[in-house]
Amino acid sequence: MHAYNLFRSKGANALICAVPEERTVPGFLTGRRWEFGGRLDGHRAVPLGFDMRAAATAVRFNGFYLCADFRREPA
């Protein structure tokens, strides 16, 4: 399993972007619309909506994985 840095959107769309620690953080995550949401590794619970197999595939093609943040309260 990869260790991921998680970024959460601040907007109403409630997205999580997971970037493997060994990858460069995409430029769109450095803007004001995203905040660091912690680290995901084998010791932390996987966020609801996070699919490990889909993440591995997305990272292979895009370098990151986007998914819905189902735990966040609606704006």
Number of domains composing the chain: 1
DSSP conformation class of 74 = P
In whole angstroms, give the CA distance from residue 38 to residue 36.
6
pLDDT tens string 9-40:
987 778 999 999 999 999 999 888 999 999 99
pLDDT at 43: 67
Identify residue 37 by its one-letter amino acid code: G
Tell me which residue range forms the domain holding 30. Answer: 4-68
Residue 60 clears pLDDT 70, i.e. is over it: yes
Residue 2 clears pLDDT 60, i.e. is over it: yes
Please give the mean pLDDT across all residues of the chain: 87
Domain for residue 75, yes or no? Answer: no
Domain for residue 73, yes or no? Answer: no
Domain for residue 74, yes or no? Answer: no
Q: Please provide the DSSP assignment of 6-49 as one string.
A: EEEESSTT-EEEEEETTSPPPGGGGSTTEEEEEEESTTSPPPTT
Domain for residue 59, yes or no? Answer: yes
Identify residue 62 by its one-letter amino acid code: N
